[in-house]
Amino acid sequence: MKNLVIDIGNTNSKVGIFNQHELIEERVFVDEDSLKSFLQTCQADYLLLASVSKSYDGLLAYTRHIPSTYVLDHTLPLPITNLYATPETLGVDRLAGVCAAHAIFPQSPCLVIDSGTCITYDFINENAEYLGGAISPGLHMRLKAMHTFTARLPLVEITGDIPLVGNSTKSCLQSGAFNGMLAEIDGIIERYKQHNPQLRVILCGGDTHFFENRLKGAIFAVQNLVLKGLNSILLHNVGQ
């Protein structure tokens, strides 16, 4: 059984091709036209579309040759119980992340930390109940905010090793953004562990490489977590 899952983000689209549970191919498309061209020739048995930003309407015409197509929204059945108070507002990437966490650690409470434009924290308990989490500014958003909302602070990037004690305006901005975010993540993990001693912590997202070796305790950095979560949702619906 060949599954195709598509994660449509704000800047690009990620495509995963699975043989049952195994990810056999991953692709990234930076524009919709190239994604449409790929869809026209891609052969699959099942397809799941998920988007955080765009309508699916422009793509569905290119998927008619795929026997079964699903669209991820708050009405689609899930392999977990979603207890979020406003499920229609929940980002599909966050939902996919906790579904993947449940597939990897089905009997454990999990905290999924996605470090990208924003940091999202998403918690699922040992009973496969998704309770919610938190959202805060990501690394580059913090740096950009300090530049945008002040008169003289420059816009800087994170490069190399970041000192704790900055000795220039640039390194002070870098230290504040990076070490502040590091302390935030460590602190939130510790608070979750106080209530869930068996907690599994999964780190994903574009800025994972900055933090995975600097956080306290056992952290699981998982590549393509959202794609794997989308596939678990697709498998759940195919098996319905």
Tens of pLDDT, residues 155-180:
999 888 898 999 999 999 999 999 99
End residue of a domain, out of 25, 41, 71? 71
> Helix (H) and strand (E) counts for the chain?
7, 11
- Domain count for the chain: 2
Segment among 100-109, 123-132, 212-221 with least mean pLDDT: 212-221
Domain of residue 165: give its range.
Answer: 74-240
- Distance CA(153)–CA(172), nearest Å, equals 11
For residue 98, give the CATH number of its domain: 3.30.420.40
Q: Classify residue 87 as exposed, middle or buried by CB count within 10 Å of its CB (0-12, 13-18, 19+).
A: middle
Q: Are residues 106 and 160 in the same domain?
A: yes
In the chain, the amino acid numbered 82 is N
Active-site residue identified among 93, 114, 122, 207 = 93
Bridge pairing between strands 81-82 and 22-29 = unpaired
Q: Are residues 28 and 100 in the same domain?
A: no
End residue of a domain, out of 71, 94, 120? 71
Q: Are residues 84 and 54 in the same domain?
A: no
Q: Are residues 117 and 52 in the same domain?
A: no
In percent, the amount of the chain with pLDDT more than 90 equals 73
What the block records as the tokens of 212 is 């995975």
Catalytic annotation present for 93: yes
The whole-chain average pLDDT of the chain stands at 92
**For position 54, what pLDDT does the model report?**
66
End residue of a domain, out of 56, 71, 86? 71
